[in-house]
Copies of this chain bind each other. A is one copy, B any other.
Amino acid sequence: MVKAKNEHLSIAEAWELLYRTFNGRIEGSSVEVSPDDGLWHVLADDVQAERNVPHYPVSAVDGYALKSDATSNASPATPVILKPHEYSWVNTGGALPLGTDAVAMIEDTSLKGDGDLYVYRALTLGSNVRSVGEDVAKGDVIAYEKDQVMPSLCALFVACGVRRIKVRRRPKSIYIPTGDEIVSPEDLTPSQELPPGKVVDSNSALLRGLFDGWGMSLDIHSLLPDDKEIIREAIRNAAGQYDLVLVGAGSAKGEKDYTAPAIAEEGKLLLHWLRMRPGRPVIVGEVNGKPVVGLPGFSMSTMAVAWTIVYPILCLLSGMDIPREEILRRAIGAGEVVNVGLLLPHSSPQGVEEWLRLKGVQIGEARYVWPLKSGASSISSMAEADAFALLPAEATEYLKGEPISAYFVLPVPWEKRALFQGSDDPAFRRLVRYVRHEGADLAIRNVGSLGGIAALSRGEAHVAACHLLDPATGRYNDSYIDALKPHDQKWIRKVIFLRSQGFILKEGNPKGIKGVKDLARKDVRIINRQAGAGTRVLLDYLLQESGISPSQVQGYNVQTNTHIDAAARVEWGLADVAVGVKAVADVLGLDFIPITWEPYELVIPEEHVGHPGVQALLSAIENPLWRKEVEELGGYRWPE
């Protein structure tokens, strides 16, 4: 394994290294362009005004141009009377006729039928006149080297007669995706299934989007196999034509990770590994004097490295001198960086900076964020996040309510978003759209039935849903809510649908499973759900009813957190039965034996009933369009 000179750096240490190595690297290469074409570029030279602004004496009002001397004794009582040849009308922006030096405003004059102008106010030289060069004098330096050409500066150049400006050339970048297991989305016909072991290249789309957001362009190289010589040649060629080369995946130390050796053989390795998570496997090298960055394969890792390494390099190459505290904000494309309290406690690993994906909610008067799924491999949580935070390497245990500094990328409808915690359900998830049609928003956090009402009791949600069977009574939810609801609160309950729970079985039911009794068979293996899940409570009730002890059931102790994962394990052959909803069996094309209709019940603390998001939710569940969607899903029934 080749070794880089610098390994396991912190982000700050990496930035020092990047600054020392690449600052001003393409400084020499400036181009001359028109102000329009120079928009957003960084100036490579000072710019001087080519003309005065204004370049002639300009009337600042609509009125009568005249010689101010003539009005020196004018007053409302003793107007000065001017003959037609002594004044002329000028519009705002119009040139003062030669010999005039002031403009009388309409309200200070009256024009008589015979053409005489009565002036009721004494004017001094230059009254209501913008003089030559008042805004900008010809020859003035109007912009300095290193200024970025913003739209207003562009307008100033045009106004000052500047036709050509010298700007830093913007870096040309290329991304080279690699990996035997990667398939380009374009190479997959619509009807073609993605074979197992193959992964579609989504990082090209991600990087293209990030570059676009930064106002930078990115070329995408054709997909390369895991072949060191091919990758090496591609890096060599790219470093000849581009200012920045990105290489996808292969940045770790697996047997097929060729980015590091390829860079080392073509140039030099500067850095390997960051003390950051996700995004630890990153490589920075130099080939032909050009920075080459090796990116990790997972999307969230790629994005984290794009923010912390790629964007800072682009700034250095394009001459953008941005203070460090501002670099990450711009890289992330965030608006405000806000201190917000954590809705839930969080453990962060010591010794590495950790990226959190966050979603925001306001409960009562307080605003919170909660962390979404944290795995580097989760693309969904990265796409769902309103905000991101980079936790420092030192801190480890964050308490509930502890403020963290969050970079918001999406506007949060703080006042209108209701937070749902509770049982996962495919039909329920489709309500979000109808809630939005009502002008509100709904955020969903799947924590299971018991988790939902526990969250309500801790004041961490506006609404929950549960389907918890009490094996002792055979009734749903009552005993659980009684146990968890604070005594001083009133919780409103509403069953929104009944859903068919049953056995999810391999297609064709090869083990011939017919009912609960079959779960005790030695050749039948189940996959269970986590403690607190309504579905697990249902299974326990069914087993108890049939007099089967959990120890008789193969796989009883193997558990998973969602309907879909349980069903997928059945599909995958690791279990013969899962308990779950019909909709999920349908998605995976599995068999389904209905067991019971269970009520899916909303629970809303009375104090939140008036919340706009909750109101919209209550209205959305009556929406016939949603009801139609649910009926099409199948496995649902409306309450009587």
**Of all chain B residues, which has the CB nearest A137?**
B564
Interface flags, A116-149, vs B, CB<8A=1, else 0: 0000000011100011111111111111111010
By a CB distance below 8 angstroms, the chain B residues around A486 are none
- Most B CB within 10 A of own CB, among A101, A159, A200, A385: A159
Distance in angstroms from A501 CB to nearest chain B CB is 17
Known: A150-B410, A202-B155. A53 touches B379 (CB 8 A): yes
Contact B572 A152 (CB under 8 A): no
User: Which residues 163-212 in A have Cβ within 8 Å of B in the complex?
Assistant: 163, 181, 185, 190, 193-194, 196-197, 199-203, 205-210, 212
Known: A138-B587, A161-B200. A154 touches B572 (CB 8 A): no
Contact A154 B205 (CB under 8 A): yes
By a CB distance below 8 angstroms, the chain B residues around A93 are 181, 199, 297
By a CB distance below 8 angstroms, the chain B residues around A520 are none
Does A530 belong to the interface (CB within 8 Å)?
no
Does A377 belong to the interface (CB within 8 Å)?
yes
Contact A587 B139 (CB under 8 A): yes
A interface residue numbers (CB < 8 A to B) = 35-36, 39-40, 46, 51-57, 60, 62, 91-95, 98, 101, 124-126, 130-146, 148, 150-159, 161, 163, 181, 185, 190, 193-194, 196-197, 199-203, 205-210, 212-213, 252, 254-256, 297, 299, 303, 321-323, 326, 329-330, 333, 335-337, 373, 377-380, 382-383, 385, 409-414, 426, 429-430, 432-433, 436-437, 558, 560, 562, 564-565, 567-569, 571-574, 583-584, 587-588
Known: A212-B151, A564-B137. A411 touches B60 (CB 8 A): no
By a CB distance below 8 angstroms, the chain B residues around A144 are 432-433, 436
10 contacts between A and B (CB under 8 A): A35-B205, A39-B209, A98-B573, A131-B572, A134-B568, A137-B564, A141-B429, A152-B303, A156-B383, A158-B201
Contact B197 A94 (CB under 8 A): yes
Known: A140-B426, A141-B430, A200-B158. A134 touches B565 (CB 8 A): yes
Known: A209-B155, A564-B137, A565-B134. A194 touches B326 (CB 8 A): no
By a CB distance below 8 angstroms, the chain B residues around A560 are 126, 131
Distance in angstroms from A179 CB to nearest chain B CB is 8
Known: A46-B430, A137-B564, A140-B429. A146 touches B436 (CB 8 A): yes
Contact A203 B140 (CB under 8 A): no
Partner among B151, B378, B380, B411 whose Cβ is within 8 Å of the Cβ of A323: B411
Distance in angstroms from A344 CB to nearest chain B CB is 21
Partner among B40, B60, B197, B206 whose Cβ is within 8 Å of the Cβ of A95: B197
- Kindly state the separation between the CA atoms of A362 and B154 in the bound complex, as whole angstroms: 28
Q: In the complex this chain forms, how many copies of it are found?
A: 2
Partner among B146, B203, B207, B571 whose Cβ is within 8 Å of the Cβ of A132: B571
By a CB distance below 8 angstroms, the chain B residues around A92 are 252, 254, 297
- Most B CB within 10 A of own CB, among A39, A133, A213, A567: A133
Partner among B137, B138, B143, B379 whose Cβ is within 8 Å of the Cβ of A135: B379
**Of all chain B residues, which has the CB nearest A179?**
B93
**Of all chain B residues, which has the CB nearest A91?**
B254
Partner among B140, B146, B297, B564 whose Cβ is within 8 Å of the Cβ of A133: B564
- Kindly state the separation between the CA atoms of A150 and B385 in the bound complex, as whole angstroms: 11
Contact B196 A159 (CB under 8 A): no
Distance in angstroms from A310 CB to nearest chain B CB is 13
By a CB distance below 8 angstroms, the chain B residues around A197 are 56, 94-95
Known: A190-B163, A196-B95. A568 touches B411 (CB 8 A): no
Partner among B52, B196, B564 whose Cβ is within 8 Å of the Cβ of A56: B196
Distance in angstroms from A78 CB to nearest chain B CB is 22
**Of all chain B residues, which has the CB nearest A281?**
B92
By a CB distance below 8 angstroms, the chain B residues around A62 are 254-255
By a CB distance below 8 angstroms, the chain B residues around A414 are 323
- Most B CB within 10 A of own CB, among A199, A203, A213, A297: A199
- Kindly state the separation between the CA atoms of A207 and B201 in the bound complex, as whole angstroms: 37
Contact A158 B185 (CB under 8 A): yes
By a CB distance below 8 angstroms, the chain B residues around A382 are 152, 155-156
- Kindly state the separation between the CA atoms of A445 and B46 in the bound complex, as whole angstroms: 18
Known: A155-B379, A329-B335, A335-B326. A36 touches B205 (CB 8 A): yes
List 5 tightest A-B contacts by C-beta distance, closest first: A151-B209, A132-B568, A56-B196, A95-B197, A137-B564
